[in-house]
Every structure is written in structure tokens, then in C-alpha cells.
Amino acid sequence: MDIHAPQRRTLYPEIQPYETGMLDVGDGHSLYWELSGNPNGKPAVMLHGGPGGGSSPDHRRQWNPDKYKILVFDQRGCGKSTPYASLENNTTWDLVDDIEKLRTQVSKVDKWQVFGGSWGSTLSLAYAQTYPERVTEVILRGIFLFDQYEIDWMYAYGGASSVYPDKWDEFEAPIPEAERGDMVEAYRKRLTGDDKDVQLTAAKAWSKWEGDIVTLLPSPATVEHFTSPDVAVAVARIENHYMANNGWFEEGQLLKGVEKLRGIPGVIVQGRHDTCTPPRAAWALKKAWPEVDLQIIPDAGHLFNEPGILDGLVRATDRFGDA
């Protein structure tokens, strides 16, 4: 152990939101939101993963509450937002519009820091490229660009299945052998069907596969969280819905759109051993956006609360706290 190495940063102490509410964003959707920290502080918005993962109380603890005004919310169909697990009017571009409504109607700020991990990194890039004039900085973790190779890595044989062959067999188990050539479509049929028992079985298997591969070391608590019925159904249905539609992106769209981010400071915190969103995408983004600060954490997987990832994220928010 290097006694001279700096101590890793961790979450700020637990805090409660000073304001919460529901925002009607149209299309029958209402989003749960919460504001925490300093009402007069530097504005930041946290974009959770999934799609469909929902927010957690720990998410608001990645910022210094004395310096930041922190908006955390549940995206369409998940967490405390309603209607639960709905796929209607639930696309990337609906969510980008929702973020703007939250900025103007809830946070009521001119610009803010955009922070997102995993699918949240995708959504952060989509929002920042649509509204670059509204973004002060971008902090990203576990880059997912929604290109076809990333979808195939997760859901076609030969990608993550090469690292977790035993877990892949469990993922394939609910699907007849004849349908395993397109696992996203096979699961889509079951997750959108009328049989609720079949839907729940499929949802738990889909979500367990993700829970198995998102941590560097096995984490029964993570798998238990992912497979709890309330989490599993929203994650599986919404995530599968987005995968089946390629996130409503053209191939390579987010890399090409990096030109719109010139002049916006950015930090990427990426686990070297991330088996969910491997470093290939983060490296491609760094090459397209040389000025971004890419930190590849040598002893980390995917989740934000792994020690090295969390250290990088908290240091990044601290870096911009007085900017």
C-alpha cells in the first residue's frame, strides 16, 4: 500500500432534499424530482442510468451540498415517476425535452452542470449536444454511445458473455433456443406481452444479467436490487425498449456531435474492467474530444459507488464547485 497516495474521496454525508415534487411533462407522464444542497448554489442535474434505473438517495451525495444546487429526478416510467414502466412516449428525445422543462420550471436556472453515468452518460451527451448553451460542464461515467457494437456486446453472444459465460447461460435460459439469435427481440416479446408472470420472469432474468456484470467483484446486494420486482420490471421493459430502437440514434451520432461541445469542460471517469460499458467507447470519445479529461480507473468496473469511480466523480464535482 502506498502511504503517500491520496485518500480516496467518498460520498458527502447524507442530506435530505429541501424541495420535492412531480412535474407534468405531457404525453401522460409525470416526473418525480428533488432539489438538494444550497438553493443559491451552482446548479447541477444528475441523469441516472438504465434506461429505467431510477434515482437513489446516494445520487445527491456526489456534490458538496454547501456549494451546489442539485436536481435529481426519475426519468419517464421509473422510480417514483408515473405511469410506472410505461413505454408510451418514452424515447431519448422525450427525455431531452424533459430535462429542459426541469431546468426552466423546477431548477429555474440559466445553465447547469450535466452529470450522468452509463445510460445517463448517453443522455447527458444527447442533451448537451442539443442545448450546449445551457451546459457549464459535463461529468460522465461508464460511457455508452448507443452504437450497435455496444448493444451487441451486452446482448449478443461473444461479448460480455465471453467474460461471464455462466451468467449468460442464465440469461438465455428463459428464451427457446430457436429465438436466441436476437435476444433483444426475444425478450421484447415477453416484456411487452399480456402474461404478467411471463413478463416478471423475463424482467428478472434481463435485470439479473445486468446486475451480474456491473460490478468488478460479485455483489449479491446489487443482484438482489436489480431483481426486486419493482426495479426489474421498469429496468427490463424500458431498457429493452431503448435497445430495440437503437436509442433513437443514428449510428455514430454522439461521436459526430462532439463538435457542439467545444469549449465545455468535461470529465470522464471510466472503469478499466467495466464489462457493461467497456472502455472502448470512452476512448473513442476522448479521441473525438481531445480536451476532455479521461480518467481510466485501473481497479474498477461499472457502478458509480465503486471506490475508484466514486473518488473520480467527487473530485470532478469539487473541481468545478467554485467555477
Query: Is residue 35 located within the same domain as residue 79?
Result: yes
Residues with Cβ within 8 Å of 246's Cβ and at least 6 positions away in sequence, in order, are 146, 148, 151
302 catalytically annotated: yes
| Per-residue pLDDT tens over the stretch 244-289 | 999 999 999 999 999 999 999 999 999 999 999 999 999 999 999 9
With 60 as the cut, is the pLDDT of residue 2 above it?
no
Q: Cα separation of 157 and 172, whole Å?
A: 10
Query: Is residue 130 located within the same domain as residue 174?
Result: no
Query: Is residue 137 located within the same domain as residue 261?
Result: yes
Q: Cα separation of 323 and 318, whole Å?
A: 10
Structural domain of residue 305, as residue ranges? 19-146+249-319
| Per-residue pLDDT tens over the stretch 65-88 | 999 999 999 999 999 999 999 999
7 within domain boundaries: no
Query: Is residue 222 located within the same domain as residue 199?
Result: yes
pTM above 0.85, yes or no: yes
With 70 as the cut, is the pLDDT of residue 178 above it?
yes
User: What does the DSSP 8-state code read for residue 106?
Assistant: I
Query: Is residue 123 located within the same domain as residue 266?
Result: yes
121 catalytically annotated: no
Q: Are 27 and 94 in contact, with CB atoms under 8 Å apart? A: yes
10 within domain boundaries: no
Q: How many CB atoms lie within 10 A of CB 263?
A: 7
Total length of the chain: 323
The predicted model gives 189-202 an average pLDDT of 96
* pLDDT of the residue at 237: 98
| Per-residue pLDDT tens over the stretch 143-163 | 999 999 999 999 999 999 999
C-alpha cell recorded at residue 70: 442539485
Catalytic residue among 147, 207, 302, 311: 302
Query: Is residue 156 located within the same domain as residue 259?
Result: no
Q: How many CB atoms lie within 10 A of CB 223?
A: 19
* pLDDT of the residue at 7: 93
Catalytic residue among 74, 147, 212, 274: 274
End position of a domain, from candidates 230, 247, 264: 247
* pLDDT of the residue at 6: 81
Q: Cα separation of 83 and 101, whole Å?
A: 18
End position of a domain, from candidates 247, 266, 288: 247
Give which of 244, 249, 235, 311 is closest to 281, Cα–Cα. Answer: 249
C-alpha cell recorded at residue 25: 411533462
C-alpha cell recorded at residue 182: 436476437
Query: Is residue 184 located within the same domain as residue 81?
Result: no
With 70 as the cut, is the pLDDT of residue 13 above it?
yes
The predicted model gives 84-102 an average pLDDT of 98
The secondary structure element, H or E, covering residue 295 is strand 293-297
284 versus 5: the higher-pLDDT residue is 284
Catalytic residue among 107, 118, 124, 161: 118
43 within domain boundaries: yes
User: What does the DSSP 8-state code read for residue 194?
Assistant: S
274 catalytically annotated: yes
* pLDDT of the residue at 322: 86
Query: Is residue 67 located within the same domain as residue 162?
Result: no
- 5 band by pLDDT with thresholds 50, 70 and 90: low
